[in-house]
Structure 1
């Protein structure tokens, strides 16, 4: 990666941009997303939040920032601006990070498996969201109405987001993760006419 672009700060920036984009999409596509009785929630922020896990670059990222802390902060902002009830996404987003980390242990990296993991995460988050609002007596729809008119449309729109954005995001995150020869120091030694490279502490 370029020494000027490090995943430890690019990732949080992208997550917050996705958070803003969710609001923009919800506002501009409201006639489509919220055409009664249907309502679909764009959750692009969850896709971007999970990208280091989905493309398996989260180990190096965790040396600099904690994905769970980032998920909690983003969830808190999401609650303030979108749900209106603090605690739902504040708890839900870190739980989804943990779920993705757990699920990723059992699958090799491939487009299909990453889509499946994202599908499971989105589905469970929507169920968690419904149960949370039910506990505080805010959810108005019964379970059948929730599944038909909210859960299915939300899953569909977010899978479309995955198909559109995941390939480009995957390339970006792998580029950010890849080492750069600028970050190596060349020692003045030779073994069998081969130069020895030593990793710099600036990584």
Structure 2
């Protein structure tokens, strides 16, 4: 009972913290993140989803991904649907790959690279179809994908062990 309570309360709070930190970092460091030649987008919520997908049940994580995808869409984007579809896809891919992979830092780091690349390409194609962007693919990869992956890998290195310990503490009896 206590374990279920911890998971039901602290998992959404941890995801919500990542949701808020994405916006806070974007707002506070907007000149550094969005100025210059590249665009770096913090995706802490994706890091949290990836790591939590290794330890929590798939159905629960997909539900959280849909709920927070809807929140992310309505609060940050204004177009409903893209993150509602992308976040559960990330959780699903991570859950399928966790069956054959051990959640050590290198594997989780590679999952972060794969999932963030997938997310950014989905967003790029979505915005390209809607004519919200005129970037070609090579410019997108150089000016947005590369810097975003680099920023989020730095975040991953900083938060992996504390986040993993919090998640393990949350699910232990």
TM-score between both structures, scaled by the size of structure 1: 0.79
Query: Quick one: distance in 1 between partners of 2:160 and 2:170?
Result: 15
For the 8 Å contact 1:33–1:39, the answer to whether it is kept is yes
Structure number with the higher strand fraction is 1
Unaligned runs of 5+ in 1: 180-203
8 A Cα contact 2:42 2:151, kept in partner: yes
Structure 2 counterpart of 1:169: 163
* Change in CA separation of 1:68 and 1:4 when aligned onto 2, cut-off 3 Å: closer
Aligned to 2:86: 92
Contact 2:3 2:171 in 1 (8 A): no
Partner residue in 2 for 1:77: 71
Q: RMSD in angstroms over aligned alpha carbons?
A: 1.9
Counterpart contact for 1:104–1:117, Cα < 8 Å:
no
1:29 to 2:23 alignment = no
Residue pair 2:47, 2:112 contacting (<8 A) in 1 also: yes
Shift of 1:51: 2.2
Change (3 A) 1:36 1:113: same
> For 2:11 and 2:34, how far apart are their aligned partners in 1?
30
Counterpart in the other structure of 1:45: 45
CA apart distance, 1:5: 6.1
Q: Which structure has greater helix proportion?
A: 2
1:131 aligns with 2:128: no
Residues 51, 108 of structure 2: 8 Å contact kept: no
Query: 1:101-122 deviations in whole A, cap 9, x for unaligned?
Result: 1121221221111111111111
How does the TM-score come out when normalised to structure 2? 0.92
135, 138, 141: which one aligns with 2:135: 141
In structure 2, stretches of 5+ residues that fail to align are: none
Structure number, greater radius of gyration: 1
Q: Relative CO higher for 1 or 2, CA cutoff 8 Å, sep ≥ 6?
A: 2
Task: Work out the number of aligned pairs and report it.
Answer: 173
